[in-house]
Amino acid sequence: MRLLDRIAPLDETVKELEIKLSDPELASDVKQFIAVQREYARLKDIVEAGNRYRATLANLQSAKSMLIDETDEDMRALAREEVQSLESQIPQMEEQLRLLLVPKDPEDHKNAILEVRGGTGGDEAAIFAGDLYRMYARFCEERGFNMELVEATPGTSGGYKEIIVNVVGPDAYGTLKFESGVHRVQRVPATETQGRIHTSAASVVVLPEADELDVQINPNDIRKDTFCSSGAGGQSVNTTYSAVRLTHIPSGIVVSCQDERSQLRNFDKAMQVLRSRLYEIINRERMANIAGKRKSMVSTGDRSAKIRTYNFPQSRITDHRINFSMYDLPAVMNGNLWPMISALQTAENAHEFQEETNG
């Protein structure tokens, strides 16, 4: 189907959504109002891009007609330049429209819960988990995202056995979601005395942050335990019961938080993580249904999938899902992760557009 044919009906849909947004009854349903508002913004962007594309095609046709009909050589030269300029713009505009027409994941706009854990490899795995966390911290800083520590368990030789943070910012989940999976590292560990290259791994899990509108938790289903914080934190550490451990009895999920001195603040952070983990369980069925209709090229659901290798001797990082490599590993580990994430997003959007078109 031609791009303009796909865009044409959306103009009327945008007008209908504008009317719907002005309805007082919709405003009383916060969750529905936000959903309609986001859909309106998405479709409006498509319609505006479509209008620019349509105007460019019309100008191109006009310039071609002038090239045929005009007898003045100077005017023909101007028309020729105009045709070349407009023709060079059209492929990029068409690509933008194709990507805009791919339905966005409704979770993309949300904040994210980022969990990094050392895996196979003992102390070196924990050190690598720490390296990954610093990579994400620097990347998030560059993107303008804020990171809030929830829980951290240091490794015995450095790094982290486990670290969990909230990533707060527009489209945080949509930006980081393809990072979920097993990250493998090949390098000479700091603990290696004979210079041998070792292979170890760390796992990354990225969840969309769920709020009370997404998941409603019965307070009677939660067991709350308090305990003394450990680690850095001043005089209150080990003297007050500010750390919180929540157990969701029906699911068995346990979440702890001891980063804040305030027990109330630790409780709020732990609840955010608990909601997000419960929301992940709820979403598994939705993702299974989507997978049944469309095979995602870049899976976000399999935590055990080995997605990426960091080869330090060759300064190479390779994402196995799209067979994409970069050869400036120090820069990536210093936060220059956007080229990799951008390549993943582009590959997934192009794949989904092809599936949509074929379907």
Three-state SS letters, 228-284:
CCCCCCCCCCCCCCCEEEEEECCCCEEEEECCCCCHHHHHHHHHHHHHHHHHHHHHH
Across residues 76-102, what is the average pLDDT? Answer: 88
278 vs 259, residue with greater confidence: 278
Q: In this predicted structure, what is the pLDDT of residue 237? A: 47
- CATH code for the domain of 150: 3.30.70.1660
pLDDT one-digit tens code per residue, 326-359: 999 999 999 999 999 988 988 887 666 565 555 5
| Last residue within a domain, chosen from 230, 259, 284 | 284
- Asked if 186 contacts 317 with a C-beta cutoff of 8 angstroms, the reply is no
Both 87 and 118 in one domain: the answer is: no
CA distance to 47, 55, 60, 93, 356, per residue, from 3 (Å): 11, 14, 17, 11, 13
Average pLDDT of the segment spanning 209-231: 80
For the chain, what is the mean pLDDT? 85
Tell me the residue range of the domain where 93 lies: 3-101
268 shares its domain with 155 = no
Residue 89 has pLDDT above 90, yes or no: yes
Q: Which of 51, 73, 101 is the last residue of a domain?
A: 101
In a domain, 69, yes or no: yes
**Count of structural domains within the chain:** 3
| Domain-embedded: residue 126 | yes
Domain final residue, candidates 101, 125, 148: 101
Are residues 76 and 8 both part of a single domain? yes
Question: Within this chain, do residues 143 and 270 fall inside the same structural domain, yes or no?
Answer: no
- CATH of residue 55's domain is 1.20.58
**pLDDT tens string 140-184:** 999 999 999 988 999 998 999 999 999 999 889 999 999 999 999
Q: pLDDT digit string (tens) for 14-50?
A: 999 998 998 888 888 877 887 788 888 888 999 999 9
CATH (domain of 246): 3.30.160.20
Tell me, yes or no, whether 20 and 80 share the same domain: yes
